Amino acid sequence: MTVVKTAVIQVNASADMDENIQTASTMIRTAKDQGAQLVCTPENVTMMEFGGDNVIAASFPQDSHPALKAFQALAKELDIWLLVGSLAVKQDSGKVANRSFLLNNEGGIAGQYDKIHLFDVDLEGGESYRESNTFDGGEQAVLADTPWGKLGMSICYDVRFPHLYRAYGQAGANIITVPAAFTKPTGRAHWEVLLRARAIENGCFVIAPGQCGTHKGDRETYGHSLIIAPWGEILSEAGEEPGIFMADLDLSEVDKARGKVPSLKHDRPYPLKG
């Protein structure tokens, strides 16, 4: 199968998990009605809680997570592949994992990935984030098999670490997913250029569904979900409001892009001097 009709779901999630599951599920059904075979949702798709203690209190172990169960049933019912951008999954450490799930069309978990790079930053205007206080960082890159080839998984802040994506490109990924809840200041400055760079560098499709709008605690996310082709063209771009955005991914474009500039074959080891 060389072409996959893909949808990104852009949402403005609240701190109410049941409400968010319902909202996302309705949008996923609509995407299926529009022909989507692969549907991708943002980071924290069912919970944009404020405050680390609140996030931990509202998280669930994986085997009893209501959002995961709901999305597994939905993927099977609709006969689609579904990227659950990320859920807060309770860990034995007392923290949570920010975990992305790729579900196959039978509702099974084809891949799960814990966000490796944690967002510990201080932005202008007093906005501050310390994800490491709440989350355990992941330790494993994940490449999943799909009917359309290999799919590399990542989350949000990972996009600033190009070596992760290079590893996926070198391992043969055709598609890379970057579900996100990018802040407005960093989104305006860097969102598009980073994502297009990751696509161009590795000659692969990049699917980046994002949160948008204002959330609990007056935190604002950038939106502008993107689907990007291997040569760097933007195939679909959202604005700053919730919605469903579609594109056809012609997987033959991966080989074409890598044939034009075969940089994945040109990596060389080198020492660092000085």
- What is the rounded CA–CA span in Å between residue 204 and residue 201? 8
Catalytic residue among 115, 131, 204, 212: 115
Own/partner pairs, 62-68, CB within 8 angstroms, 24+ separation: 62/89, 62/99, 65/89, 66/17, 66/18, 66/21, 67/17, 67/20, 67/21, 68/101
* 43, 49, 131, 220: the active-site residue: 43
Place of tokens 């997570």: 65
Residue 20 — φ and ψ, nearest 5°?
-65, -40
Tens digits of pLDDT across the chain (274 residues)? 689 999 999 999 999 999 999 999 999 999 999 999 999 999 999 999 998 899 999 999 999 999 999 999 999 999 999 999 999 999 999 999 999 999 999 999 999 999 999 887 787 666 667 888 899 999 999 999 999 999 999 999 999 999 999 999 999 999 999 999 999 999 999 999 999 999 999 999 999 999 999 999 999 999 999 999 999 999 999 999 999 999 999 999 999 999 999 999 999 999 999 9
- Is 273 noted as a catalytic residue in this protein? no
For the question of residue 43 being annotated catalytic, the response is yes
**DSSP β-bridge partners for residue 220:** 214
Q: What is the pLDDT of residue 43?
A: 98
pLDDT value at residue 68: 98
Burial class of 252 by CB neighbour count within 10 A (0 to 12, 13 to 18, 19+) = exposed
Q: 123 — phi, psi (to 5°)?
A: -95, 165
Task: Write down the pTM of the prediction.
Answer: 0.96
| Catalytic residue (one of 40, 95, 131, 156) | 156
115 carries an active-site annotation: yes
| Radius of gyration in angstroms for the set of CA atoms belonging to the chain, rounded to a whole number | 18
Answer yes or no: CATH 3.30.470.10 is held by domain 3-261: no
